[in-house]
Amino acid sequence: MIDPDSELEARYRSVTVTPDWYQTNIPCQVGCPAHTDVSTYIGLISQARFDEAYLLNRKANVVPGVLGRTCAKPCEPVCRRNKIDGKPIAICWLKRAAADHREYRHHAECPPVTKDKKVAVVGAGSSGMACARDLREMGYPVTIYEQYPTAGGVMVNGIPVWRLPRYVTTEECDEYMADIGVEIKYNTRVGRDVQVTDLLKEYDAVYLAAGCYVPNALTGPDNKVIKGADLRGVEDGIRLLEKTNYGEPGFIGKKVAVLGSGFTAMDCCRTAIRFGAEKVYIMYRRSKEEAGSDEYEVDEAVFESVEFNYLVTQLEVTTEDGIHVNGMRFIRNKLGDPDASGRRRPVPIPGTEFSIDVDTVIPAFGQYSDVSWLQAEELGLEVNKWGVPLLDMDTWMTNHPGLFAGGDFTQGARNLISAIGDGRDVAAAINRYLGGVDKPAEPAEEVELPDYRRGMVDDYESIPHQMLPSLALKDRYSHTRETETGYTPEQAVIQARRCLQCQLNIMIDPSICILCSGCVDICPYDCISMEGLSRVVKADPLHEDAGSWQGGADMIIDEEKCIRCGLCIVRCPTDAISMVQFEVASPNSRWTVSKIPVINVN
């Protein structure tokens, strides 16, 4: 039989590779809302080139030192390294290492003002700053209106100092914006000190990036506010964090119940420990699997003696004197059908009520947007049932010409990196609205690497994942000392060398391949196979000429399995196999695989 696969059904379809294919073949970059060039900056860190890695990060995500401590890490669950040993590359923590171990501060140059149209941004949070930075680089004069005395938004008023030191936010928010020429009007509240209508008259475009700060109400199973929600000792989580971050008085007692299990709840329960609480409970209405926080945050809280209680819903805040909290009543739940969020709905179980003794209750159920300042009726804005402006998601613009909105203000409370991605997209949309044109995409280039290992070392596959070093438990009871100490330079280099460098691809030259199957035999993960032509989907345009052949074969490479070890390159007797890096940049550099050579490491 000339083709041993001829009796098998077709399985493979050839595709013409495009820039989109090159980009989506790097899963961490796809997972990142800001499309950070992860593979290149990890490769730079693998050679201790921390300054270059930091600058590459700042180009994509604006505040790398902040995100290296606080990012929600959507890139890590999709990291292909998970398929080797179940542990992703420490992408987030390596971002911090680049910030911590760079040699220079890297004050940014101020881009020249080349445009005659002005832009105002409401809110100096992650989305507002990302938008302002990109617009300044395009040449627009930009002014941000910020109600707080510092830039950073939730980075400063919502994330505790023991997680995110203020020298980091000052450098990457206040100083960086000043360096690039963004004017920030601090202590200026839109709706009180200046109106949106005034901004629309003074500026050619206005971006509403006001964040999402109003805490959800303390409700029970019936979604009605529970009895005792207004007692002294009940303190909304986002408000408590704002007070402790700005040094204002905030009551935290000896026994604390934190309601919820998202990022705010984790910050609140660990903050309570640092402010002297002797017993802290997390009370969450669903199971651990539905919780909004990640496993690392939960493990750290447990290490600090926080007690987690799942499948419970609050019924009442109790009091003895009618003024102060002295406890809470709860009811146990079971999980029912999924609700609108896709998570299974908590269903109360009759007869399972119980009480706990606490003197502080911290609801941390999430937030919604304050729209009281918006002048929606005067502007004729189309809004949803909560009063949040409706957007054309292709343009990020409201129905009022020149008024844009985005970030958590319109999308709901999420995470910093998602808001940064929104801000960068809005900047491009504003540029188009004001008559600018997108920076054109660069054609994809295939660069054959003579040094095919590109920063890898021989044992990279067996390097174990290392957790981020942190303070010992006895040293954690300070609300100003950073708990996580971070990787040393040496540890960061080793962790970076675990990366599979997914922007590299094995290419086989069919003109000199002799179909010896040597590459198939040596591949440690069976990602190369030789398949008969009959296994290719019929009418595949790239195999049109092969239809008349009596026999033949295709060499198939499974990108999902390939670990870029290069053994096939060494084994090939005709040098038909090479390692190629695809260097691409989409419009406005929103997707980029950088043209930065990364050499081998001895």
Per-residue pLDDT reduced to its tens digit, 299-354? 999 999 999 999 999 999 999 999 999 999 999 999 999 888 788 899 999 999 99
The pLDDT score that the predictor gives to residue 324 is 97
Specify the pLDDT at position 212: 94
Q: What is the pLDDT of residue 547?
A: 63
Q: Which fold has domain 119-199+370-434?
A: FAD/NAD(P)-binding domain (3.50.50)
Please state at what angle helix 489-496 crosses helix 91-101, rounded to 10 degrees. 140
Query: What confidence score (pLDDT) does residue 170 get?
Result: 98
Q: What is the pLDDT of residue 340?
A: 81
Lowest mean pLDDT among 242-256, 358-372, 376-390: 242-256
Q: Answer with the residue of higher pLDDT: 413 or 457.
A: 413
pLDDT at residue 342, rounded to an integer:
82
Per-residue pLDDT reduced to its tens digit, 248-300: 888 899 999 999 999 999 999 999 999 999 999 999 999 999 888 889 999 99
454 pLDDT higher than 60: no
Query: What pLDDT digit, counting tens, does each position of 201-230 carry?
Result: 999 999 999 999 999 999 999 999 999 999
User: Both ends of the chain: CA-CA distance in Å?
Assistant: 48
Quote the percentage of the chain above a pLDDT of 70.
93
- Domains 119-199+370-434 and 214-367 agree in fold: yes
Q: What angle do CA 333, 251, 173 make, to 5 degrees?
A: 95
Burial of 337: CB neighbours in 10 Å, binned 0-12, 13-18, 19+: exposed
Looking up tokens 């910050």 gives 267
DSSP characters for 410-473? HH-S--HHHHHHHHHHHHHHHHHHTT--PPPPEEEEEEE-SSTTTT--TTGGGPPP-PPPB--G
- Judged against a pLDDT cut of 80, whether residue 3 lies above it is answered with no
Burial 312-325 (b: 16+ CB within 10 A, else e): bbbbbbbbeeeeeb
Q: Give the pLDDT band of residue 538 (cuts 50, 70, 90).
A: low
| pLDDT value for 590 | 85
pLDDT tens-digit readout, 465-494: 999 999 999 999 999 999 999 999 999 999
One-letter amino acid for residue 322 of the chain: G
Residue 135's pLDDT is 98
pLDDT at 31: 95
The per-residue pLDDT for 456 is: 58
DSSP state of 311: S
541: confidence class by pLDDT, cuts 50, 70, 90: low
pLDDT for residue 253: 96
Q: What is the pLDDT of residue 276?
A: 94
Regarding predicted confidence, which is higher, 555 or 452? Answer: 555
pLDDT at 19 (0 to 100): 73
Q: Which element (helix H / strand E) includes 137?
A: helix 126-137
Query: C-alpha distances in angstroms, 337 versus 146, 260, 284?
Result: 42, 20, 17
Q: Where are the domains of the chain?
A: 119-199+370-434, 214-367
> Of 168-182, 295-309, 417-431, 544-558, which range is least confident?
544-558
Question: What is the structure's pLDDT at 1?
Answer: 44
Least confidently predicted of 102-116, 182-196, 359-373, 526-540:
526-540
pLDDT at 594: 82
pLDDT at 512 > cutoff 90: yes
β-strand pairing of 255-259 with 279-283: parallel
Q: What's the whole-number average pLDDT of the chain? A: 92
Residue with tokens 């809302």: 33
In CATH, 214-367 is 3.50.50.60: yes
